[in-house]
Amino acid sequence: MSQSLPPLTAIRAFEATARHLSFTQAAAELGMTQAAVSYQIKLLEERVGAPLFLRKPRQIALSELGAKLAPEVTRAFDTMREAFADTRGRADGTLAISSVPIFASHWLAQNVGLFQVDHPDIAVRIESDVRLTDFTADEIDVVIRGTRKILPGLVGHLLIKADFTPMLSPGLAATIGGIREPADLLKLPFVNSEDDWFELWFEQAGVKDRTVPQRPISLLGSQNLEAAAAVAGRGIAMLSAGFYGDELASGRLIQPFDLLASDGHGYYLVYPETRRNSPKIRAFRDWIVEATAPLRGEG
């Protein structure tokens, strides 16, 4: 049986080259010379009896056979990577979570201790980040991201819809005698007048003349910072309502209208399909999906 499988070095060279479509980049990733990668590919092609790549001037492309083989080989390597990653994770007992800042600060940090009470054998490490995560390279088990679509090979569970509505400080609203109708908001400064959510919300609110007065533009880069500016009375911020219950309850912010608009975004728990049965991921998935049910209006 062992003789029926081509040399692992050749398979690794093929998988990396197929991903990069470059002998040079594959060689850099594998710590080999370009000539060594080409040699391993040649050995593999001799083994299968057909070309796996089409050599063109200054570029290569997968042959028909190579295109059929590459996804299966990549999937096999992903499965092995995840198996070793899961073994490492069980050994150190740590669940590594990467979350967008808004979810990390307004929900996860406040509630993750409840997960650890139920699962004292699992330590939790949280990173606040918005970057795309490479699960094969980064030491991250699950991510929480705002998105409309879950990419192939990943599993996603909706935690909360990113429905949004304008919020502002009571003091700012008082400067124009209060907010009675959506059009009144146009009399006040916006924290970020370039935010596309304003246009969508006003459209759904039926405000026909949505001309925003020309004011200096602030690009604060995160909903957390925009909310802080709104609390300070600097302007109206378009915020995901589910995250700001405390600010509304304390009166630091007001939500003048019940209307929640949507652009299809939601905050999802995401992890590789190959790791869906990892014990620590399964435990966290089951806990957080149930714990966030009230945010989705369930339960």
Instruction: List all residues 6 or more positions away from 103 whose beta carbon is below 8 Å from its beta carbon.
Output: 144, 159, 160, 243, 267
Residue 1 confidence (pLDDT): 40
Number of other CB atoms surrounding residue 179 within 10 Å: 21
- The answer to whether residue 54 scores a pLDDT higher than 80 is yes
Q: Which tokens hold the place of 268?
A: 């999802």
> Which helix (H) or strand (E) covers residue 197, if one does?
helix 196-204
Residue-wise pLDDT tens digits, 253-264: 999 999 999 988
pLDDT grade for 219, boundaries at 50, 70 and 90: low
The two three-digit tokens of residue 287, written as one number: 């806990």
Average pLDDT on 264-289 reads 92
Residue 14 tokens read as 């093929």
pTM: 0.66
CA distance 247 to 123: 30
Dmax over Cα atoms in the chain, in whole Å?
Answer: 83
Taking only Cα atoms into account, the Rg of the chain, rounded to an integer number of angstroms, comes to 25
- Residue that is written with structure tokens 């925003």 in the block: 212
Mean pLDDT of 248-272: 94
Dist CA 208 CA 211 (whole Å): 9
Flag whether pLDDT at 87 surpasses 90.
no
Q: At what angle do helices 8-20 and 34-48 cross, to 10 degrees?
A: 110
Q: Are strands 154-161 and 266-272 parallel, antiparallel or unpaired?
A: antiparallel
Q: How many CB atoms lie within 10 A of CB 235?
A: 19
Average pLDDT estimate for 206-217 = 66
Of these ranges, 46-50, 91-95, 130-134, the one predicted with the greatest mean pLDDT is 46-50
pLDDT per residue over 167-201, tens digit each? 999 999 999 999 999 999 999 999 887 778 888 99
* pLDDT digits 0-9 by tens, 114-135: 999 999 989 999 998 888 888 8
